Copies of this chain bind each other. A is one copy, B any other.
Amino acid sequence: MEKIKPRTLSGFMELLPQKQAQMERVMEILRETYALYGFYPLDTPVLEASDVLLAKGGGETEKQIYRFQKGDSDLAMRFDLTVPLAKYVALNYGQLVFPFRRYQIGKVYRGERAQRGRFREFYQADIDIIGDGQLDIINEAEIPSIIYQIFTRLGLQRFRISVNNRKILNGFYAMLGLTEKSGDIMRTVDKLDKIGAEKVRAVLTEELSVCTQDADEILGFIAISGGNDAVLAALENYRGRNAVFDEGLDELKTVVQYLAAFGVPESHFAVDLTIARGLDYYTGTVYETTMLDHPEIGSICSGGRYDNLAGYYTDKKLPGVGISIGLTRLFFVLEDKNYLNENPPAAPADVMILPMTEDIAPSIALATQLREHGVRVQLHCEKKKFKAKITCADKLHIPYVIFMGEDEIAKNIIALKELATGEQTNTGFEQALARIQAGLRNAGKVILDQ
């Protein structure tokens, strides 16, 4: 029979089992954490009618879309999770309870030019809180605490959540009479980290025709830095000159004020006036999250407040706040920078049982008993040499093996060996279970961050 060469499309992440186990653990922690904050899980189709998916229209994204005809239908694969959310909320408006809190972890598709670290199929992990007509500022304060919990539970330690408020920026530019140019100015200022202050000044004065004095004001404004209290105090100096600015400052102060109660330490949080987010979509608080040791990666979790989720589907005003993690890219980076824990999070089981008797019923019964206690067990019953089975457990990173020979069965003892240390104990079931459980508790998080 002629064989077809098996292959996976370029730009499509397909992980080996141990890597996939780590990815699954990351997703599990995301799901658990989102659930703690009272978000519904949501799932929407990968395929939508093209006119629905492209309702917002145009732009760079449209060219990248996987779009095709099937029978009479013009179909497209989703390219983000925001448009499907907008569709869902508009479609089911009457049946939802607001504020509507949902998370969604799902694959999206963009036919970008394939290159290292860029994917055509990738997971996004989004949370959004949607209000009906209005949405309280407290929701904007809760979001950084979710970001903090997510990365802390994953094991990342050296990261910072940067927060700003678009109203402060918009209000500031209004003070200078630069409202019409504010979009262009913010896109320029957003590049400060990449191109530096002098280049920003040059773009402002030469390309955007901002006068020198205003450019200096802008650069002075975005240079405001220091601890959160210092930044907020500096911003107070602008109060009273523009209503939108004042509103933004009040919001930012509220967000900062409640962060301690939400459990976010000051060390992991900074007011940063250079954050604007590229999208014109955001209208209030905006967030970015950076790894302190890898600023070159850019933001690993971003989002913000928007006023109108679904304007292209409905007249209802649906303000919201949300964040998104580009999960496939984040995982690629974590692997690339050696952040992933190879140990139990990457193993398919906690224990491998090696039956060494003809009748394997006692081994099976033990596996059943361990599983009832939540221990993940593989039974290795293949006709292989003993040493090959140990090698197999080792290759799978399974931390414990149990030998079930005539002796152990007759004496009703568990011969439990920890592969990393070689230490073997012969005890009763309860002690063996306790040893396994204690070992698993010490196994460490999925990300190892020194």
Question: Interface segment, A175-183, A282-290, A370-378?
Answer: A370-378
Do B135 and A7 touch across chains, with their CB atoms under 8 A apart?
no
Do B101 and A348 touch across chains, with their CB atoms under 8 A apart?
yes
Given contacts A24-B41, A37-B371, A40-B348, A365 and B261 within 8 Å (CB-CB): yes
Question: Interface segment, A9-17, A203-211, A297-305, A439-447?
Answer: A9-17
Q: How far is the CA of A225 from the CA of B5 in the complex (A)?
A: 46
Do B382 and A135 touch across chains, with their CB atoms under 8 A apart?
yes
Within 8 A of B (CB), among A325-378: 348-349, 352, 360-362, 364-365, 367-368, 371-372, 374-378
Determine the interface band of chain A, counting residues with CB < 8 A from chain B. 35 or more
Q: How far is the CB of A271 from chain B (nearest CB, A)?
A: 19
Do B4 and A20 touch across chains, with their CB atoms under 8 A apart?
no
Set B21, B40, B311: member contacting A21, Cβ < 8 A? B40
Within 8 A of B (CB), among A207-247: none
Given contacts A36-B374, A381-B138, A121 and B1 within 8 Å (CB-CB): no
Do B361 and A99 touch across chains, with their CB atoms under 8 A apart?
no
Do B383 and A134 touch across chains, with their CB atoms under 8 A apart?
yes
Centre residue among A40, A136, A142, A145 by max chain B CB count within 10 A = A40
Q: How far is the CA of A288 from the CA of B46 in the complex (A)?
A: 30
Given contacts A87-B6, A312-B4, A382-B136, A376 and B38 within 8 Å (CB-CB): yes
CB-CB < 8 A to A38: which residues of B?
348-349, 352, 376-379
Contact with B along A132-149 (1 / 0, CB 8 A): 001110110110010001
Do B47 and A9 touch across chains, with their CB atoms under 8 A apart?
yes
CB-CB < 8 A to A20: which residues of B?
40-43
CB-CB < 8 A to A138: which residues of B?
360, 364, 379, 381
Q: How far is the CB of A281 from chain B (nearest CB, A)?
A: 15
Contact with B along A97-124 (1 / 0, CB 8 A): 1011110000101010000000001000
Is A396 interfacial (CB 8 A cutoff)? yes
CB-CB < 8 A to A12: which residues of B?
45, 47
Do B263 and A368 touch across chains, with their CB atoms under 8 A apart?
yes
Q: How far is the CA of A171 from the CA of B31 in the complex (A)?
A: 49
Do B368 and A315 touch across chains, with their CB atoms under 8 A apart?
no
Is A70 interfacial (CB 8 A cutoff)? yes
Is A73 interfacial (CB 8 A cutoff)? yes
Is A96 interfacial (CB 8 A cutoff)? yes
Q: How far is the CB of A312 from chain B (nearest CB, A)?
A: 6
Centre residue among A3, A41, A311 by max chain B CB count within 10 A = A41
CB-CB < 8 A to A145: which residues of B?
368
A136 — nearest CB in chain B belongs to which residue?
B381
Q: How far is the CA of A11 from the CA of B274 in the complex (A)?
A: 46
Do B36 and A371 touch across chains, with their CB atoms under 8 A apart?
yes
CB-CB < 8 A to A195: which residues of B?
none
Within 8 A of B (CB), among A45-88: 45-49, 51-52, 55, 66, 68-71, 73, 75, 86-88
Set B7, B49, B99, B368: member contacting A91, Cβ < 8 A? B7
Set B23, B70, B111, B352: member contacting A70, Cβ < 8 A? B111
**Would you mind naming 20 contact pairs between A and B with Cβ atoms under 8 Å apart?**
A1-B311, A6-B88, A8-B44, A17-B40, A35-B348, A36-B375, A38-B376, A38-B379, A47-B66, A66-B68, A68-B68, A68-B70, A97-B396, A99-B382, A134-B382, A136-B382, A258-B360, A261-B365, A261-B368, A262-B368
Query: Known pairs A3-B313, A136-B382. 8 more at Cβ < 8 A?
Result: A6-B88, A8-B45, A8-B91, A14-B44, A135-B382, A138-B381, A261-B368, A263-B368
The 7 nearest A-B residue pairs measured at CB: A38-B378, A68-B68, A38-B349, A261-B364, A4-B55, A138-B381, A24-B41
